[in-house]
Structure 1
């Protein structure tokens, strides 16, 4: 798949924002007043900024509101509803903390659930696609959720939780890569199934279907070298999990904490780029790209 910057930005920063909102909804950290305002501001800038960036990849951004009508069948629509409910509920919860020094616990818990629901529905937009075997597995939502919760814990200053969750998210990310590498081969898709010509023999690519490019080739066929991918994986896992954990294990220092956050964000951005760049759409078989 072609890695669109807007979608990479969206899936990274909205995940971090909703992850932080999840912890704030649970009452962690236990802040009120100006401190609560600062935490909620960071969370909303990340979550809302990420959501807005996702519209840049739409052919007709002005039609985005129509997606809300398809919640019975569309994970995109469910994502939109979960996001709106999470943002509205946690805004009311935040008002109680900031202006009234009151913690409306039930409201916070409901908002936290919708924050996680937003991340889950985002992941299911990709995990439901049988045409992209690398995404079509339970590890995809596990990957999105684990990184969101771990990143949220890091932003919330929960060192102990962050260390454990970063390790878990790193292991899930590694498992996602390992299983993803086998997914296309295990899917049973080949040139025969792509062309529906298997009943007359074993087809092979002779010439491409047409001489020029088209939307399918631009969006769904992107080839990344294996050696290049392996290097990027090492960089991603080192930045998103290994380096932050090492820094958090050292005696606490605000500068080290900031570096840990920045390293984690950079690592997740690299992993998200790979998430799209390594995704092999079965339509590539029709064009002889595999």
Structure 2
């Protein structure tokens, strides 16, 4: 798949924002007043900013509101409803902390679960696609999104112990998605013979390319990345997203080290998400001889 910057930013920063809202909903850190305002402001900038950036990849962004009407069948629509509900509930919960110094526990828990639900619905947009075997892995793809969101949220919320544990879990899930993902296309059983239903006649191969120029399908659904480059980027992503933050968090705490850990983690997640899209192999590539 073409790794569009808007979708990479969306999935990275909205996941981080909703992850932070999850921890705030459960009272971590236990802040009130303007300190709470600062935490909620950061969470909302990340979550809402990420959601807005996702519309830049749409052909007609002005039609985005129509997605809300398809909640019965569309995970994209469910993501929209879940995000709106989470943001409204957490705004009310945050208002109690900031202006009244009150923590409405039940409201916070509901908002936290809705925030986590938003990340889950985002993951299912990709996990449901049978045409992309690398993504169509349950429960690995949802676990990948959720583990990174929770780990990043814990890091932003200053929950050191939880952050270390969840970062290690996220690292293990990330490695599993790469290992299983590399086998997914071959394991799916989809090839040129099955696509054309001509396998019973012998080995099927393309006589010549469908056309000489490029088109929308090739631009959006067929992206080839060299194995050597992918391996290097995986090491960079894992090092920045998991290893560097864990090592920094094990050092004596100070705010500068915590900031570096957050920056390293975000950079690693961006690299991981770029690979998530760039390595995704759409079955339409078979038609063009790219798989």
When normalised by structure 2's length, the TM-score is 0.99
**Mapped contact 1:195–1:286 kept (Cα < 8 A):** no
Partner of 2:237: 236
Cα separation, 1, equivalents of 2:73 and 2:129:
13
Query: Are residue 156 (structure 1) and residue 157 (structure 2) matched?
Result: yes
Partner of 1:11: 11
Q: How many residues of Structure 1 are paired with residues of Structure 2 in the alignment?
A: 290
Partner of 2:21: 21
Aligned with 2:280: secondary structure? coil
**Mapped contact 1:194–1:283 kept (Cα < 8 A):** no
Can you list the C-alpha shifts for 1:117-155, whole angstroms capped at 9, x where unaligned? Answer: 000000000000000000001200000000000000000
In structure 1, stretches of 5+ residues that fail to align are: none
Can you list the C-alpha shifts for 1:228-264, whole angstroms capped at 9, x where unaligned? Answer: 0000000000000001000000001211110000000
Partner of 1:133: 133
Cα separation, 1, equivalents of 2:254 and 2:186:
47
Partner of 1:264: 265
Report deviation, 1:193: 1.6
Instruction: After the TM superposition, list the runs of 4 or more consecutive aligned residues in structure 1 that deviate by more than 6 angstroms.
Output: none
Cα separation, 2, equivalents of 1:90 and 1:40:
9
Can you list the C-alpha shifts for 1:66-85, whole angstroms capped at 9, x where unaligned? Answer: 10010000000000000000
Partner of 1:53: 53
Cα separation, 2, equivalents of 1:267 and 1:75:
26
Equivalent residues in 2 for 1:69-88, closer than 5 Å: 69-88=69-88
C-alpha RMSD of the superposition: 0.6
Equivalent residues in 2 for 1:52-201, closer than 5 Å: 52-137=52-137, 138-201=139-202
**Mapped contact 1:29–1:156 kept (Cα < 8 A):** yes
Cα separation, 2, equivalents of 1:215 and 1:150:
36
Can you list the C-alpha shifts for 1:62-109, whole angstroms capped at 9, x where unaligned? Answer: 110010010000000000000000000000000000000000110000
Cα separation, 2, equivalents of 1:259 and 1:206:
54
When normalised by structure 1's length, the TM-score is 0.99
Cα separation, 2, equivalents of 1:10 and 1:285:
29
**Mapped contact 1:232–1:270 kept (Cα < 8 A):** yes
Aligned with 2:135: secondary structure? coil
Cα separation, 2, equivalents of 1:197 and 1:63:
40
Can you list the C-alpha shifts for 1:186-228, whole angstroms capped at 9, x where unaligned? Answer: 0001111222322322111221111211111110000000000
Cα separation, 1, equivalents of 2:195 and 2:275:
25
